[in-house]
Structure 1
Amino acid sequence: MNQLLLKDTPAPGSSVTVTGARAEHIRTVLRSKVGDTLKTGVLGGLSGHGVIRSIEKGKVLLDSFVLESQPPPALPITLAVALPRPQSLKKVLHFAASAGIPELILFQSARVEKSYWNSSVLHPEELESELIEGMEQGCTTRMPEMRFFRSFREFMMMSNERAGEFHKIVAHPVPDQPFTPKPEAEKILLAIGPEGGFLPSEVAAFENNGFQKFSCGRHILRVEFACAFLSGMLI
């Protein structure tokens, strides 16, 4: 945790009590002491710092907040990921939130287990918790906008409706084919499939809907690693 994220802006002269795992992280990992300043931000708002006034097991009290800094700019990438297994999904959420991805889309494809849509990770409270953990790592206050498509067809329809917004790219192994994004593209829609890959019919659908194939080499990566690796190659 590189920045404590608060849900609401503290009123002037007020204090905030942090409890639970985050308080223990401040106490045992950051090893903060009374009087130390702690980098602090407000969800959807400004960043700055607060001052630790008391600290004990499972409980930290802060006040004297100074919040003046805007968050870092968002990346020009909308990330669309075929819904991965729950443990991988948590890592995708952490990456997207910490890296400044402004929009994360989860969609169904043929090799996605439909039971994944019933995972507790997709419950609103847990989604928010995982995203906040990533935001605290990346020192941002911008939470990615989440969108969900339980059918591949609906996802394709959305990508067509928003065709003017993006240069559209689908991750798919293409030996010896260099990637050259259009220079006029200001934003990118990057689609990443399940670890088993997209079906040939799905790859054809992407191409028919204006997606350019993009390969990161011969090695097969886990979904969460592919998200980070490919996003890094595109910025």
Structure 2
Amino acid sequence: MNLILLHPGELDQQGQARISDPRRLAHLREVHRATPGDRLTVGVQGGKMGKAQLIELTRELAIFALEPLTEAPPPALPVHLVLALPRPRMLARTLEHVTALGVKDITLLHTKRVEKSYWQSPELLPEKIHQHLVLGLEQARDTRLPSVVLSKGFRPFIEEQLPALLGERRGLVAHPGMPMECPRGISEQTLLLVGPEGGFIPWEVEKLQEAGCQGMHLGPRILRVETAVTALLSRLF
């Protein structure tokens, strides 16, 4: 945890923050080994970052005195990530990784090769998604939570959501065997679509291309979804 991320509701009128959730308290004690008087990096969810002095730390409560928070969070990547829903354990890691890299718009999509049972996973509960996003923000020292949308039908996505998403974005579909190599170092607003394990089926690739997306590849190696997404974002931006 490289940032103590504070919810606005944890702040009081006296410029102090009070933390009572067990996860952050345990991290302060066991990882930071914090003691009263320590100055740690904090940030307010959706706001700015800076330093705060630890005033009190018990097993039930941490109290910080905030210094002026003047540091802006790092810039977001210019990308909306559309990710075919991975298996639950991989979803958790992927959400944390892409949040740490600066993705702020995420759509989780159903495709032919996505197991329907994945949509019943507890990892898709709002509180679980929020937990993984927060872990990504804490890792990267960021304060702005991504937006996550669940899209459980491929055809409705193509017909109802994709045209608007492509309105001011370049659409790129990552899929093995495409003739174009993944671009490097782009800065334009981008819609990046990544398939499930096994990739999109040919019909899905065809429909995405018909809608205006370009197919691209990362090379001859077949990568796990979490590895592929990280590699794509790093190479593109």
1:173 equivalenced with 2:176 (yes/no): yes
**Residue 32 of structure 1, CA deviation:** 2.1
1:51 equivalenced with 2:53 (yes/no): yes
Per mean C-alpha deviation after superposition, the further-off stretch among 154-163 and 139-148 is: 154-163
**Residue 163 of structure 1, CA deviation:** 2.1
Answer whether contact 1:14 1:63 (CA < 8 A) is retained: yes
Paired with 1:178 and 1:115, the residues of 2 have a C-alpha distance of: 33
Letter in 2 for 1:127: I
Note the alpha carbon deviations across 1:185-205, whole angstroms, 9 max, x for none. Answer: 721110000011111111111
Paired with 1:178 and 1:120, the residues of 2 have a C-alpha distance of: 36
Match of residue 162 from structure 1: 165
Answer whether contact 1:16 1:62 (CA < 8 A) is retained: yes
Secondary structure in structure 2 of the residue aligned to 1:231: helix
Letter in 1 for 2:50: G
**Residue 96 of structure 1, CA deviation:** 2.2
Paired with 1:140 and 1:72, the residues of 2 have a C-alpha distance of: 6
| TM alignment of 1:16-165, pairs within 5 A | 16-57=18-59, 59-157=61-159, 158-165=161-168
- Percent identity between the two aligned chains: 36
Letter in 2 for 1:5: L
Secondary structure in structure 1 of the residue aligned to 2:215: strand
Paired with 2:46 and 2:88, the residues of 1 have a C-alpha distance of: 26
Answer whether contact 1:16 1:63 (CA < 8 A) is retained: no
Answer whether contact 1:10 1:65 (CA < 8 A) is retained: no
Letter in 2 for 1:155: F
RMSD: 2.0
Match of residue 4 from structure 1: 4
Paired with 2:83 and 2:12, the residues of 1 have a C-alpha distance of: 36
Answer whether contact 2:137 2:144 (CA < 8 A) is retained: yes
**Residue 58 of structure 1, CA deviation:** 5.8
Paired with 1:163 and 1:15, the residues of 2 have a C-alpha distance of: 41
**Residue 180 of structure 1, CA deviation:** 4.7
Contiguous gaps of at least 5 residues in structure 2: none
Contiguous gaps of at least 5 residues in structure 1: none
Paired with 1:40 and 1:24, the residues of 2 have a C-alpha distance of: 16
Per mean C-alpha deviation after superposition, the further-off stretch among 159-168 and 135-144 is: 159-168
Select which of 210, 214, 219 maps to 1:217: 219
Paired with 2:182 and 2:221, the residues of 1 have a C-alpha distance of: 17
Task: Normalising by structure 1, report the TM-score.
Answer: 0.92
Q: How many residues are matched?
A: 234
Distance 1:176 1:61, change over 3 A: same
Answer whether contact 1:111 1:198 (CA < 8 A) is retained: yes
Paired with 1:75 and 1:144, the residues of 2 have a C-alpha distance of: 11
Paired with 2:195 and 2:60, the residues of 1 have a C-alpha distance of: 40
Paired with 1:15 and 1:179, the residues of 2 have a C-alpha distance of: 45
**Residue 75 of structure 1, CA deviation:** 0.5
